[in-house]
Amino acid sequence: MYHHKTIAELSRGLAAGEYTSEQLTRHFLQRIEEHGAALNCFITVTAAEALAQAREADQRRARGEAGPLTGIPMVHKDIFCTDGVKTSCGSKMLDNFIAPYDATVVHKLKDAGMPMLGKTNMDEFAMGSSNETSFYGPVKNPWNTDTVPGGSSGGSAAVVAARLAPFATGTDTGGSIRQPAALCGITGLKPTYGRVSRFGMIAFASSLDQGGPMTGNAEDAALVLNVMAGFDARDSTSAEREVPDYSAGLARPLDGLRIGLPREYFGAGLNAEVAKVIEIAIEQYKQLGAEVIEISLPNSKLSVPTYYVVAPAECSSNLSRFDGVRFGYRCEAPKDLDDLYKRSRGEGFGAEVKRRIMIGTYALSAGYYDAYYLQAQKMRHLISDDFKQAFKNVDVVMGPTAPDVAFGLGAKSDDPVSMYLSDIYTIAANLAGLPGMSIPAGFVNEMPVGLQLIGNYFDEVRLLNVAHKYQQATDWHMRLPDAYA
């Protein structure tokens, strides 16, 4: 079946003429029709557009103009602006928003000839770790529909885990690609800050946000990153660096690879069964020729408090654009301009978004700036320096992606602080701007466990190589939940 194949396999099949893009696209649309509603993983399905794009891809192939991704269907997280298609960001605020232009990432993947099947559900404005803050309701984890898929890219993770598409885009501000990838048993990559354009990606925290691929394995992540990455003059913090061929480095042997294990990532708060799975994965790496070095990231324990100043501060500023005047939700019958602003925002945003705007507003307000924002920026420096020190002696840092497997729907929704701590191992990479990945490494109580890999700046080639070699030696990434096999 097509959904059992990787992007690399589908690409070869299309090139050999074994099937057409239209056939693939119909197959995945059929799967979305069967399973999409129960998982609640889509906000919009664009069947007609997808089929038109698939036929176009087939024509392009007939003309001899196909690239490696031409004709392979995919989905976008609903945070990426898609010209003419609703782009809600999981919010009532943008429920009526038809994006008037394409994000750079959307444009690039469209140019590569990938039909878009739809837009995936997500935590509202990417603020959440369980997908429960979405205006459209929570996404269900395909491994157990009573549990959360993680967040904020939970819809994208569920789509790939249930193989309703071979590839989904995600975004990661504090773990929003890696944590749902871990909880849903798929491969997720957050590139180095600045590697993938943020243009047209609705901003949450601009100094942390980064888009990246969510796929079935590392080889596929490399294939799509080849297209997603690159300089964009429209993104003021886009990195002006050449894009290497991420596929070319995959096969490099791991002999002599130096893996750093931060002792802080294996302490209190980590589920002992998850720790065991991670230890077995590290053993596997030793057998593949890697050397393991214990390291310390002493300030990493303060990454959550630091993040919950930096991210809300930037969010309170970014989200001030939603004022009910030019686009998005507007309240009924405003009395005056102040009432229009306040009620449009009060009614258009959900509780978690309002909380974060208020944290940021307070942290930036007169008299508190030094105590909160300035202190957080200094902490950010210390957290970042810990990694710089570590990367003098190691090539990749490894540990668990999340402290536990997927939790039950509703289990943490009343306690923001306990929800925030689900991202305890992922946030530091965003604060430092480093690339990070999560790959499937085993199961605890039949729920997937993710192994996190953090690489040095712009070293996605090595990161993907390290993930790929593990996936050549294991089959965790090939396991599918029974209901979607």
Partner 1 sequence: MSLQKEDVEKIAHLARLAIDEADIPDYARNLSSIFRLIEEMDAVDTGAVTPMAHPLDMPQRLRDDAVSEENQREHFQQIAPQVENGLYLVPQVIE
Interface region with partner 1, contact rule CB under 8 A, candidates 12-20, 60-68, 113-121, 416-424:
416-424
Cβ at position 434, least distance to partner 1 in Å: 8
Residues 445-464 that bind partner 1 (CB under 8 A): 457
Is 344 known to be catalytic?
no
Q: Pick the binder of partner 1 from 136, 372, 407, 425 (CB under 8 A).
A: 372
**Position 389 contacts partner 1 (CB under 8 A):** no
Out of 11, 153, 156, 176, the active site residue is 176
Which of 152, 303 has the CB closer to partner 1?
303
Interface region with partner 1, contact rule CB under 8 A, candidates 53-61, 143-151, 158-166, 431-439:
431-439
Which of 54, 310 has the CB closer to partner 1?
310
Q: Pick the binder of partner 1 from 156, 247, 300, 306 (CB under 8 A).
A: 306
Interface region with partner 1, contact rule CB under 8 A, candidates 16-24, 115-123, 125-133, 315-323:
315-323
Q: Pick the binder of partner 1 from 135, 285, 420, 476 (CB under 8 A).
A: 420
Q: Which residues pair with 353 in a beta bridge?
A: none
**Position 117 contacts partner 1 (CB under 8 A):** no
Out of 5, 77, 108, 140, the active site residue is 77
**Cβ contacts of residue 485 below 8 Å, gap of 6+?**
none
Residue 336: DSSP 8-state: S
**Position 349 contacts partner 1 (CB under 8 A):** yes
**Cβ contacts of residue 482 below 8 Å, gap of 6+?**
none
Interface region with partner 1, contact rule CB under 8 A, candidates 170-178, 217-225, 231-239, 392-400:
231-239
What is the C-alpha to C-alpha distance for residues 329 and 327, in angstroms, rounded to an integer? 7
**Position 332 contacts partner 1 (CB under 8 A):** no
* Token pair in block for residue 91: 């919010």
Which of 147, 306 has the CB closer to partner 1?
306
Which of 180, 350 has the CB closer to partner 1?
350
Out of 11, 152, 156, 344, the active site residue is 152
Q: Pick the binder of partner 1 from 30, 65, 146, 236 (CB under 8 A).
A: 236
Distance (Å) of CA 7 to CA 114, 217, 380, 438: 11, 9, 37, 18
Q: Pick the binder of partner 1 from 361, 413, 472, 474 (CB under 8 A).
A: 361
Q: Compute the C-alpha angle 85/86/90, nearest 5°.
A: 145
Q: Which of 187, 178, 158 is nearest to 6 (CA)?
A: 187
Q: How many CB atoms lie within 10 A of CB 20?
A: 18
Which of 38, 371 has the CB closer to partner 1?
371
**Position 381 contacts partner 1 (CB under 8 A):** yes
Q: Pick the binder of partner 1 from 26, 244, 334, 443 (CB under 8 A).
A: 334
* Token pair in block for residue 234: 């429209």
What is the C-alpha to C-alpha distance for residues 139 and 121, in angstroms, rounded to an integer? 7
DSSP string computed for 103-155: -HHHHHHHHTTPPEEEEE--SGGG--SSSTT-TT-PPPBTTBTTB---SSSHH
- Residue 196's SS3 state is strand
**Position 107 contacts partner 1 (CB under 8 A):** no
Distance (Å) of CA 204 to CA 381, 401, 464: 21, 22, 27
Which of 158, 359 has the CB closer to partner 1?
359
Q: How many residues bind partner 1 (CB under 8 A)?
A: 73
Is 92 known to be catalytic?
no
Residues 170-199 that bind partner 1 (CB under 8 A): 193-194
**Position 476 contacts partner 1 (CB under 8 A):** no
**Position 95 contacts partner 1 (CB under 8 A):** no
Strands 396-400 and 258-262, bridge-based pairing: parallel
Q: How many CB atoms lie within 10 A of CB 57?
A: 28
Which of 24, 304 has the CB closer to partner 1?
304
Q: Do 401 and 190 meet the contact criterion of CB atoms below 8 Å apart?
A: no
Helix locations, 433-473, DSSP H: 460-473
* Token pair in block for residue 222: 């490399």
What is the C-alpha to C-alpha distance for residues 274 and 214, in angstroms, rounded to an integer? 22
Cβ at position 200, least distance to partner 1 in Å: 14
Interface region with partner 1, contact rule CB under 8 A, candidates 56-64, 106-114, 146-154, 323-331:
323-331
Is 152 known to be catalytic?
yes
What is the C-alpha to C-alpha distance for residues 348 and 329, in angstroms, rounded to an integer? 6
- Residue 182's SS3 state is helix
Query: Which residues participate in catalysis according to the annotation?
Result: 77, 152, 176
